[in-house]
């Protein structure tokens, strides 16, 4: 979305749940809104939409190059970003990838890396749909 304003969902957590469950954890959205209102929520979602794809690419590229340190670092960064917006599938995959890279990689890591781009796309679409509900 870049510099475009991300419209935010207004209303209760049930609306968030029905719009994106289980891809986006409504508690994460509510927490951001509680901490800094819609402005903070908009900034964090915008950051996720704008930057998380590069983290997915970095994870995938590092995995293809068998650079486990880079895989671990990229997955850790993505895990943090996903946690901020409640992108549960991305968060779980990134955590699995990070741990697997730390333990030497393997088929489980490669399988999780292969699923990451689709999970990321689904999370971004869900976050964009949340904005459409405002």
**Which of 45, 98, 91, 47 has its CA nearest to residue 74?**
98
Per-residue pLDDT, averaged over 76-81, amounts to 98
In angstroms, rounded to a whole number, what is the distance separating the alpha carbons of residues 118 and 10? 27
C-alpha 83 chain-centroid distance:
7
Q: Can you give the pLDDT at residue 4?
A: 35
Please report, in angstroms and rounded to a whole number, the separation of the first and last CA atoms in the chain.
Answer: 16
pLDDT at 14 over 90: no
The Cα 49–Cα 45 span in angstroms is 6
Domain with residue 19: its CATH number is 1.20.120
92 within domain boundaries: yes
| 38 within domain boundaries | yes
Average pLDDT of span 121-130: 93
- With a threshold of 0.85, does the pTM exceed it? no
The larger pLDDT score, comparing residue 21 to residue 92, is at 92
Q: Is residue 21 part of a domain?
A: yes
Instruction: Please report whether residue 111 resides in a domain.
Output: yes
**What is the number of domains present in the chain?**
1
Predicted confidence band of residue 105 (pLDDT cuts 50, 70, 90): very high
Which structural domain, as residue segments, surrounds residue 27? 13-130
Q: With respect to residue 8, please indicate whether it lies within any of the assigned structural domains.
A: no
């Amino acid at each position: 979305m870049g510099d475009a304003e991300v419209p935010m969902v207004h209303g209760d957590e049930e609306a968030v749940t029905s719009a994106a469950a289980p891809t986006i954890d409504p508690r994460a959205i509510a927490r951001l809104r509680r901490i800094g209102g819609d402005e903070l929520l908009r900034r964090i979602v915008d950051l996720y939409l704008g930057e998380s794809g590069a983290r997915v690419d970095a994870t995938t590229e590092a995995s293809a190059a068998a650079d486990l340190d880079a895989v671990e670092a990229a997955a850790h960064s993505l895990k943090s970003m996903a946690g901020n917006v409640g992108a549960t599938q991305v968060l779980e995959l990134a955590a699995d990838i990070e741990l697997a890279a730390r333990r030497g990689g393997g088929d489980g890591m490669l399988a999780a890396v292969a699923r990451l781009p689709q999970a990321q796309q689904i999370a971004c679409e869900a976050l964009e749909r949340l904005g459409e509900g405002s």
